[in-house]
Amino acid sequence: MRIFFLVLLTTVFFRTFSQQKHIPAIRTMQPPVLDGSLDDSVWKSAPVATDFVQYIPLNGSSASVRSEVRILYDNDAVYIGAYLYDDAAQIRRQLTARDDEQQKDVDFFSLFLDTYNDHQNAFQFLVTSANVQTDAKLNNTDLNVFGTGGDRSWDAVWQSKTAVTENGWIAEIRIPYISIRFARKDVQTWGIQFMRFMRRNTETSFWNPVDPNTAGFVNQFGNLDLLQNIQPPLRLSLSPYLSGGIRLNPDGSARDLEFLRNGGMDIKFGINESFTLDATLIPDYGQTVSDNVVNNLSPFEIKFDENRPFFTEGTELFNKSGLFYSRRIGSTPSGYYNVSDFESANPDWKVKNNPFVTQLYNAFKLSGRTDKKIGIGVFNALAAPMKARLYNETTGKDTTLLTDPLTNYNIIVLDKALKGRSFITFTNTNVIRENTGRDANVSGLDFAFFNTSNRYSISGSARKSDILGNTPYSGFTSTAFDTIHTDQGIFLKPYSGYLAKLKLGKVSGKLQYSLAGKITSDKYDHNDLGYLGYANNIVYSGGISYNQYQPTNTFVNYSYSLNVIGSWLYKPYAFSSFDINTTAFWLFKNMWDVSLTFGGEPFWKDDYYELRTPGRRLKIPKYFYTLLNGSTDSRKRLFAEYKFSFAEAAMPNNPYVSISTNLRYRFNNKFSLTWGYTRNYDQNQVGYVTREANGEPVAGFRNVKELTMIASGIYNFTPRINFTFRTRHYWSSVHYNNFFHVKDDGYYEPRSFISGRDYNFNVFNVDAFFTWDFKPGSSIIAGWENWLGNDFTVSDYQNNNWHYYRNFKNTIDLPHGNELTLKIIYFLDYNQIRKRK
C-alpha cells in the first residue's frame, strides 16, 4: 500500500512539474548594443533557450522552425537576444499601432516575467518583426488561440530593435528595472516564458510547454535561476505635459468658441523595491475616443469602456474584485441636468456655463507586491466641486448652482497569493462627499482555492455595502427603504446590504464543469465607485464543456458547452427567469472559425425591474434563439467577422433579427481600413413607456430598429508614427404599436393609444489622431474630434419605413461640435539624468 501511494505521488508530481525548464541567469559587465544584431561578444557567454513546443496548431509537437533565445542581466536591466530562424521571404512585417498586433499580418516574439515567482502574476513584453511594441500585465490570464491575453492598457518604457536576416529575424530587447517590480534578495529565481508567433501558419510556440487543458498560464512558466545581487533602482520618472487647442461648440451652446489650454504631470516614484506611487496632477483627458452611446431603453445604466490612460494603466489589482468602475471618477456632475430644468422653470435665468465633466484636482495609485506574495494597492482621487454659472436678465447679476460637491474616492486592496494558483483578496472602496452629500463604503472578500493538481477549484466572494448621508429619494426606490422628510426634499435613511457568491468546478482537462450561486440583497449598492446593474436577486447557474485541442483532419480545435441559469427575486422570494443555452465552436484548418448557439427562456419571465416600480412585475414572453458567428482567415488581405441571430417569442409577430459584419482590408504593410455594420430589429418589443398622473406605469409594444456604421483606418508611417481615424453613426428608430397597463400578475391590460411617442435617435462622432512617439515614453499627439451637439431626434419617420440616407443627411445637417488639440508629453527618468551628469 505504501508503495502504491508513493508511485501515485510520484506520478502526480511528474505530470505537474516534469515539463518545467530552467535557464541560468548570466551577469554581463558590458551591456549589449541594441542594433538588431547578436554579434556582440557578450551574447556568446549567454546560455541558449531553444526546443520550443507548439501551443497551436499541433499542441505538444516541436515547433516547425528553430528559435534561439539568450538572456543576460546587469545592474540596470535584463537583456534578451532572440534569433528566430525562418525563410526571410516568409516573414510577415505589417506595421501596426502599439498593442495592436493581434490578427494582423505580422510575426512576433514575446517575453514573460514572473518576477516574484508566485505563478499568478507576470509582465509581458512583445515585439513584432516590424519593431512595434506591446506590453501587458497578466493575472494568471488564460490564453487565446494566438497565445496572448492580459491587461494591455499598461504601457511600460523599454527598448527594442529588430532586423531581418537571410536566415530569419532577430529581436533585441532591453527591459530596465524601472519598468518591473521584484524583491530585494541576494539570490532569486524568476518565472520566465518565451513565445514565438508565425503568421503564415498561425503557429504559436512556447519555450516551456503550455497545456491548454491545464487551467492558468503563469503557472506553466519555466525558471530563470541564480539572479544575484540585483538592486531595485530608485524608480522616479516624470511625464509633464502641455496641451492646447480650440473647441467650436454647436449652435445653441452657451459659448460658441472655447480656447483650451492645460498643463500637468504624471509622476512615478518607487517607494521601495516593490511599491510604486503613480500620481497625476491636473489631468487632461481631452484626447480620448468617443463613447459608443446608444439609445438606452432599459432600466439600467449603460457601462462604457475606460479610455483615460491613468485609469487603465496598472489598475489590474484594483479591478480584481470588480468593485471599481473608474468612469465614476471625473464623470458628468450629478446635478448637470438639473441646471437646464432650473432654466426652463425660471425664464429670467440663462445658463452661461455648465461643465459636463467633473475636473480632478489629483489622483494617485500606490501598488506593489512584497516578497511574501502579498499585493497591496491604494488608490485615491480628489474631484473638484463643480458649479454652473447662470445670468439673470432682469437683475443683471450672476449666480452659481452646485452640480457636484467636493468628492474623495479611495480604494484599498490586499491580495495574498497562496500556493499554486490559489489567492485571497480583500478590497475596500470608500466615497466621501463634502457637507451633507451621500457617502458610501463597500468591503469585499474574494478567494479561489485550487487543489494540488490544479484540476478542481472553489471560489467565491462576500460583499457588504453601507450607504450614509443624504441619498435623494427617486420615487421608484423599493419600499424596503426608510425615508426622511426635510425642507430640502425626501431622502433615504442610511442603509446596508450584502452580496455573496460561491462557485465549485473542475477547471482543467478536456471535460470541465461548474456549479455556482449568487445572492444580492435588496439593499446592496456599490454604484458610488463600482457598477451594479441591479440588486435584489438570487442566481443559480451550472455549466459543462468539452474542449478538444488536438487537431483532427478538419479542425485545429473545437469545443462544446451547455449552460443553465435560474433567477429568483431575493425579497420577496419569487421566481424570475430560467435560461438554457448550448454552444459549439470549431476552428478549421484554414483558420476560419464558426460558433453556433441555441438557447432561450422556456418559461414566461417575471421582470421586476422594467416597470421602474417597486414590487411590480412585467411578464416577458418565453422565447428561443439561435446565434451564428465567426470569422474568416485573418491572414488574408480581406478579413471578415460576422454575426447573425434570430429569436422568436411566444406571441404573434414578435421576431428579433440581428445582422452584424466587420470587414477589414489591408492595402499594404502600412495602410488598412475597417468597416463595420450592425442592424438589429426587434418587433413588438415589450417595455416601459411612461407613467399616468397617478403614478401608474404604462408599458407598450414597440418596433425598435437600430443601425450602427463604423469606419476606421490606420496609416503607419513608421513603427512609432501613425495616423488613425474612427467615425461612428448610430441610429435608433422607435415606433409604438399600442400601449397597456400592467395588472398585478404582470400581464397586460389594454390602454388607449398615446400619440407622439415615436422618434429617431442619432449619434455621430469622428475621432482622428496623429501620434508620434519620438522617444520611449514621450509623444506628440494632434487630435480632431467632431460630435453631434446633443441627443437630437431627426424628424424623418414615415409610415414605419426606414430612410437611412435621408436620416443620415439630416443628422449631418444638425449642429455639430469640433475640437482641435495638440498635446506634448515628455518622459524624464531620474536614473538617466543622473548618469548624464
- Tell whether the model's pLDDT for residue 819 goes beyond 80: yes
Per-residue confidence (pLDDT) for residue 343, from 0 to 100: 81
Half-sphere exposure of 743 (CA within 13 A, CB side): 5
pLDDT of residue 17: 40
Give the angle 499-504-508 at the CA atoms, nearest 5°.
135
Of 775 and 143, which is predicted with more confidence? 775
Task: Quote the percentage of the chain above a pLDDT of 70.
Answer: 91
**Quick one: pLDDT at residue 112?**
95
Q: Which residue's C-alpha cell is 416601459? A: 688
pLDDT of 482 reads: 66
The mean pLDDT of 356-380, rounded to a whole number, is 87
Alpha-carbon 98 to chain mean position: 17
Q: Which residues contact 768 (CB under 8 A, 6 or more apart)?
A: 723, 724, 725, 726, 783, 784, 785
pLDDT value at residue 359: 86
Q: How do residues 285-330 score in pLDDT, each as one tens digit?
A: 777 888 888 899 999 988 888 878 788 777 778 888 999 999 999 8
Which of 14-23, 300-309, 732-741 is predicted most confidently?
732-741
Q: What is the average per-residue pLDDT within 182-209?
A: 93
Ordered by start, the domain boundaries in the chain are 17-228
Taking residues 620-626, report their average pLDDT: 96
What's residue 234's pLDDT?
77
pLDDT of residue 142: 64
Q: Report which of 587, 650, 595 is spatially closest to residue 627, judged by C-alpha positions.
A: 595
Residue 640 has pLDDT above 90, yes or no: yes
Average pLDDT over residues 795-803: 51
- Gap between the Cα atoms of 741 and 748, Å rounded: 6
Residue 562 to residue 542: CA distance in whole angstroms: 8
Tens digits of residue pLDDT in 661-698: 999 999 999 999 999 999 999 999 999 999 999 989 99
Exposure b/e, 271-281, CB count within 10 A at least 16 = b: eebbbbbbbbe
* Averaged pLDDT for residues 567-582: 95
CA distance 829 to 236: 6
| pLDDT beyond 90 at 462 | yes
Residue 491 banded pLDDT, cuts 50, 70, 90: low
Residue 822 has pLDDT above 90, yes or no: yes
**Residue of 398, 494, 501 whose CA lies nearest to 448:** 501
pLDDT band at 275 (very low <50, low <70, confident <90, very high): confident
Fold of 17-228: Immunoglobulin-like (2.60.40)
The reported pLDDT for the residue numbered 308 is 81
Alpha carbon 262 to chain centroid, angstroms: 28
pLDDT tens-place string over residues 435-446: 877 899 999 999
Whether the predicted pLDDT of 11 surpasses 50: no
Share of the chain above pLDDT 90, in %: 60
pLDDT at 474: 60
| Of the candidate ranges 341-350, 527-536, 618-627, 734-743, the one whose mean pLDDT is the lowest | 341-350
* CA-angle at 266, arms to 265 and 269, nearest 5°: 125
Residue 519 pLDDT:
97
192, pLDDT greater than 50? yes
Q: 141 pLDDT exceeds 80?
A: no
pLDDT (average), residues 504-531: 95
Record the pTM: 0.87
Burial 751-789 (b: 16+ CB within 10 A, else e): beeeeeeeebbbbbbbbbbbbbbeebbbbebbbebbbbe
Neighbours of 690 (CB within 10 A): 12
Contact call for residues 541 and 563 (beta carbons, < 8 A) = yes
User: Is the confidence at residue 548, as pLDDT, over 60?
Assistant: yes
pLDDT for 361: 87
Q: What are phi and psi of 61, to 5 degrees?
A: -85, 160
| 17 or 709, which is more confident | 709
Look at 256 and 721; give whichever has higher pLDDT: 721
pLDDT at 10 exceeding the cut of 50? no
Task: Give 686-690's long-range contacts (Cβ < 8 A, gap of 24+).
Answer: 686/610, 686/618, 686/620, 686/621, 687/297, 687/610, 688/299, 688/610, 688/611, 688/612, 688/618, 689/736, 689/739, 689/754, 689/757, 690/754
For residues 61 and 69, give the distance between their C-alpha atoms in angstroms, rounded to a whole number: 19
Please say whether the beta carbons of 733 and 685 come within 8 A.
no
Q: What is the pLDDT of residues 594-616, one digit of tens each?
A: 999 999 999 999 999 999 988 89
Question: Which of 352, 365, 407 has its CA nearest to residue 382?
Answer: 407
Question: Could you report the per-residue pLDDT of 382-398, keeping only the tens digit for each?
Answer: 999 999 888 888 888 88
Task: Report which secondary-structure segment, H or E, holds 12.
Answer: helix 2-17
Mean pLDDT (the chain, rounded): 88
Nearest-angstrom CA–CA distance, 517 and 413: 25
pLDDT value at position 489? 61
pLDDT over 60 (residue 790)? no
